[in-house]
Structure 1
Amino acid sequence: MLNWLRRTLFASKPDVRLTRRATRFLRGKYDSALTSDNNRRHWANADGLSANAANSPEVRRILRNRARYEVANNSYARGIVLTLANDIVGTGPRLQLLTEDAEANRQIERAFNQWAKAVGLAEKLRTLRMAQTQDGETFAILISNPRVETDVQLDLRLVEAEQVTTPDLRWNDARAIDGIVFDAAGNPIEYHVLREHPGGGHSFVKDYDRIPADAVLHLFRVDRPGQSRGIPDITPALPLFAMLRDYSLATLDAAKAAAYYAGIIYTDAPPHGETEAVEPLDPIELDRNTLLTMPGGWKMAQLHAEQPTGTYAEFKREVLNEIARCLNMPFNIAAGNSASYNYASGRLDHQTYFKSIRIDQSRIETIVLDRILAAWFDEAVLVDGLLPSGLGPIAEWPHQWFWDGHEHVDPQKEANAQATRLASHTTTLADEYARKGQDWEAQLRQRAKELQLMSELGLAVASPTSSAPTEDDADVDQDEETPVSAE
Structure 2
Amino acid sequence: MGIFTGIRRVAHAFRVAGGGTNSFEAAGNGRRLRGFNPSRNHINVAIRAAGPTLVARGRWLYENDGYAGNAVDEWASQAVGDGIKPRPRFKGKKAAKAALLNLFLKWTDEADAEGNTDYFGIQEKVAREAYLAGECFVRLRNRRLGDMWTVPFQLQILTTEMLDMGFSASLPGGNFVVAGIEFNLLGARVAYHFWRYHPTDERPPNSANARDRVRVPASEVFHVFDGRQGGQIRGVPRIARALVKIFGLEIYDDAEIDRKKNAALFTAFLIGRGENPMSVNEDEDEDETPIAGMEPGAIIDLGDDKDIKFSAPAEVGGSYEAFQYRTILKICAGLGVPYSYVTGDMTKGNFANVRTDIIRFRRRVSQWQNNTLIFQLCRPVWVAFVERAVMAGLIELPGYDEDPTEYWACDHLPPRQEWIDPAKDIAAEREAIKGGLKSRTQSIAERGYDREDVDDEIEEERAEAAGRKTPLVFDTDGTAPPAAPSAPPPPANDDPADNEDDPPEDIPNAA
TM-score by length of 1: 0.81
For residues 298 and 253 of structure 2, the distance between their equivalents in structure 1, rounded to whole angstroms, comes to 33
Matched, 1:395 2:405: yes
Q: Residue 438 of structure 1: SS of its match in structure 2?
A: coil
Matched, 1:141 2:139: yes
**Quick check: 430-439 or 168-177, which moved more?**
168-177
Change (3 A) 1:315 1:282: farther
For residues 235 and 93 of structure 2, the distance between their equivalents in structure 1, rounded to whole angstroms, comes to 42
- Measured after TM superposition, the shift of residue 310 of structure 1 is 3.6
Alignment partner for residue 126 of structure 1, among 115, 124, 127?
124
- Identify the residue that residue 502 of structure 2 maps to in structure 1: none
For residues 382 and 330 of structure 1, the distance between their equivalents in structure 2, rounded to whole angstroms, comes to 46
Whether the 8 Å CA contact 1:82–1:130 is kept in 2: the answer is: yes
- Measured after TM superposition, the shift of residue 176 of structure 1 is 2.5
- Identify the residue that residue 241 of structure 1 maps to in structure 2: 246
Whether the 8 Å CA contact 2:267–2:299 is kept in 1: the answer is: no
After the TM superposition, which residues 11-160 of structure 1 pair with which residues of structure 2 at under 5 Å, given as runs? 25=19, 27-41=21-35, 43-44=36-37, 46-56=38-48, 58-99=49-90, 100-119=92-111, 120-145=118-143, 149-160=148-159
- Identify the residue that residue 326 of structure 2 maps to in structure 1: 318
- Identify the residue that residue 217 of structure 2 maps to in structure 1: 212
Q: Residue 395 of structure 2: SS of its match in structure 1?
A: coil
For residues 237 and 83 of structure 1, the distance between their equivalents in structure 2, rounded to whole angstroms, comes to 16
- Measured after TM superposition, the shift of residue 342 of structure 1 is 1.9
Q: Residue 200 of structure 1: SS of its match in structure 2?
A: coil
- Identify the residue that residue 258 of structure 1 maps to in structure 2: 263
- Identify the residue that residue 194 of structure 2 maps to in structure 1: 193
CA deviation profile, 1:266-288 (whole Å, cap 9, x unmatched): 56xxxxxxx54998996353998
Q: Residue 398 of structure 2: SS of its match in structure 1?
A: coil
CA deviation profile, 1:115-158 (whole Å, cap 9, x unmatched): 12322111111111111122221111101245864331211111
State the AA in 2 paired with 1:140.
V
What root-mean-square deviation, in Å, do the aligned CA atoms of Structure 1 and Structure 2 show?
3.2
- Identify the residue that residue 232 of structure 1 maps to in structure 2: 237
Q: Residue 55 of structure 1: SS of its match in structure 2?
A: helix
Could you tell me which runs of 5 or more consecutive residues in structure 1 were left unpaired when the two chains were aligned. 1-20, 268-274, 466-487
**Quick check: 246-255 or 320-329, which moved more?**
320-329
For residues 402 and 200 of structure 1, the distance between their equivalents in structure 2, rounded to whole angstroms, comes to 36
Q: Residue 155 of structure 1: SS of its match in structure 2?
A: strand
For residues 198 and 288 of structure 1, the distance between their equivalents in structure 2, rounded to whole angstroms, comes to 48
TM-score by length of 2: 0.77
Whether the 8 Å CA contact 2:51–2:165 is kept in 1: the answer is: no
Could you tell me which runs of 5 or more consecutive residues in structure 2 were left unpaired when the two chains were aligned. 1-14, 112-117, 277-285, 479-511
- Identify the residue that residue 430 of structure 2 maps to in structure 1: 419
**Quick check: 208-217 or 297-306, which moved more?**
297-306
For residues 293 and 199 of structure 1, the distance between their equivalents in structure 2, rounded to whole angstroms, comes to 51
Change (3 A) 1:23 1:262: closer
- Measured after TM superposition, the shift of residue 23 of structure 1 is 11
Alignment partner for residue 440 of structure 2, among 415, 429, 441?
429
CA deviation profile, 1:52-93 (whole Å, cap 9, x unmatched): 11111x421111111111111112222111111111011112
Change (3 A) 1:195 1:421: same
Matched, 1:337 2:345: yes
Q: Residue 139 of structure 1: SS of its match in structure 2?
A: strand
Change (3 A) 1:444 1:70: same
- Measured after TM superposition, the shift of residue 432 of structure 1 is 0.9
- Identify the residue that residue 493 of structure 2 maps to in structure 1: none
Whether the 8 Å CA contact 1:51–1:225 is kept in 2: the answer is: no
Report 1 or 2 for greater relative contact order, CA contacts < 8 Å, sequence distance ≥ 6.
1
CA deviation profile, 1:327-354 (whole Å, cap 9, x unmatched): 3211001112212232111110011110
Q: Residue 381 of structure 1: SS of its match in structure 2?
A: helix
Q: Residue 319 of structure 2: SS of its match in structure 1?
A: helix
Q: Which has the larger radius of gyration?
A: 2
State the AA in 2 paired with 1:78.
G
Whether the 8 Å CA contact 1:166–1:192 is kept in 2: the answer is: no
% identity of equivalent residues: 20
- Measured after TM superposition, the shift of residue 305 of structure 1 is 3.6
- Identify the residue that residue 377 of structure 1 maps to in structure 2: 386
Number of matched pairs: 435
- Measured after TM superposition, the shift of residue 410 of structure 1 is 2.1
For residues 241 and 169 of structure 2, the distance between their equivalents in structure 1, rounded to whole angstroms, comes to 31
For residues 165 and 263 of structure 2, the distance between their equivalents in structure 1, rounded to whole angstroms, comes to 56
